[in-house]
């Protein structure tokens, strides 16, 4: 099956910890994106990558880091510098057109 | 002022009703318009995509874009309980890559 997978589905983080969210796609899409969704708000862009070994900051990149070593993988690290990390994190990919397709999401909770 | 405004609802309608969901935007550079459906605790699913003013129909769904008024709509005919979800409008400018700008989403409940 072609698609986007995110893991884990639920993640709990203690104060001061870094955590990494996984995003994998087997759609052969060039571009990948990370969004954050908070209750009652739309999605906000954290980082995006158009090609391997290249990525750009989105609107709310502070406290986050990414890498793009392989076309199919775009992991997101939520660092201890992110002051309010509790949110629903969504990964998306795009074949280079305007449509973006989303994964199932990871819900991160800070304990 | 937000670039994209969407009434968050919630909106509750009886089964079989026609539903109208709306977004307004301020950025005239937006050229591509999308509607996503998001079930609770799931990722958004692309429902409709359009890039020109006018109507686009797909089954019970019709997307309408009025670029002169900076206004887009999604109509759902013969609504079903399975349509109960959050509906997000999204739009972007003319470059091939880059972010989508989302509305905050409208929560829709269709009751039997």
Q: What is the DSSP string of A7-41?
A: E-SEEEE-TT--EEEEEEE-S--SEEEEEEE-TTS
What band does B2 get if pLDDT is binned at 50, 70 and 90? confident
Q: ω before A10 within 30° of 0 (cis)?
A: no
Question: Chain B residues contacting A, CB < 8 Å?
Answer: 4, 6, 8, 32, 34, 36, 41-46, 49, 51, 88, 90, 92, 96-105
Q: How confident is the prediction for chain B on average, in pLDDT?
A: 92
Is B36–A102 a contact, with Cβ atoms under 8 angstroms apart?
A: yes
Token pair listed for A85: 């990390």
User: Which of A93-102, B14-23, B96-105 is most confident?
Assistant: B14-23
Distance between CA atoms of residues B62 and B18, nearest Å:
11
Percent of residues, chain B, with pLDDT higher than 70: 96
pLDDT, residue A106, reads: 97
What band does A97 get if pLDDT is binned at 50, 70 and 90? low
Which residue is closest to A104 within chain B, CA to CA?
B43
**Residue of B37, B48, B99, B105 to mutate, interface with A, max A Cβ within 10 Å:** B99
**The pLDDT of residue B96 is above 60:** no
**What digits encode the pLDDT tens for the residues A34-88?**
999 998 778 999 999 999 999 999 999 999 999 999 999 999 999 988 888 999 9
Which of A4, A48, A107 is nearest residue B99 as measured by Cβ atoms? A48
Q: Which residues of A touch B95 (CB under 8 A)?
A: none
């Amino acid at each position: 099956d072609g698609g986007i997978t995110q893991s884990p589905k639920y993640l709990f983080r203690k104060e001061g910890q870094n955590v990494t969210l996984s995003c994998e796609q087997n759609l052969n899409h060039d571009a990948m994106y990370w969004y954050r969704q908070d209750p009652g708000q739309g999605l906000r862009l954290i980082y995006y990558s158009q090609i391997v070994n290249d990525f750009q900051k989105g609107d709310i990149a502070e406290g986050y880091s990414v890498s793009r070593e392989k076309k199919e993988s775009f992991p997101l690290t939520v660092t201890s510098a992110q002051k309010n990390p509790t949110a629903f994190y969504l990964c998306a990919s795009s074949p280079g057109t305007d449509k973006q397709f989303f994964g199932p999401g990871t819900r991160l909770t800070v304990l | 002022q937000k670039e994209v405004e969407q009434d968050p609802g919630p909106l509750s309608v009886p089964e079989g009703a026609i539903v109208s969901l709306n977004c307004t935007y301020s950025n005239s550079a937006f050229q591509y318009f999308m509607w996503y459906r998001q079930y609770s605790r799931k990722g958004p699913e692309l429902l409709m995509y359009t890039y020109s003013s006018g109507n686009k129909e797909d089954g019970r769904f019709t997307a309408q874009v009025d670029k002169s008024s900076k206004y887009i709509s999604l109509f759902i005919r013969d609504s079903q309980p399975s349509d109960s979800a959050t509906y997000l409008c999204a739009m972007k400018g003319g470059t091939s890559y880059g972010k989508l700008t989302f509305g905050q989403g409208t929560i829709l409940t269709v009751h039997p």
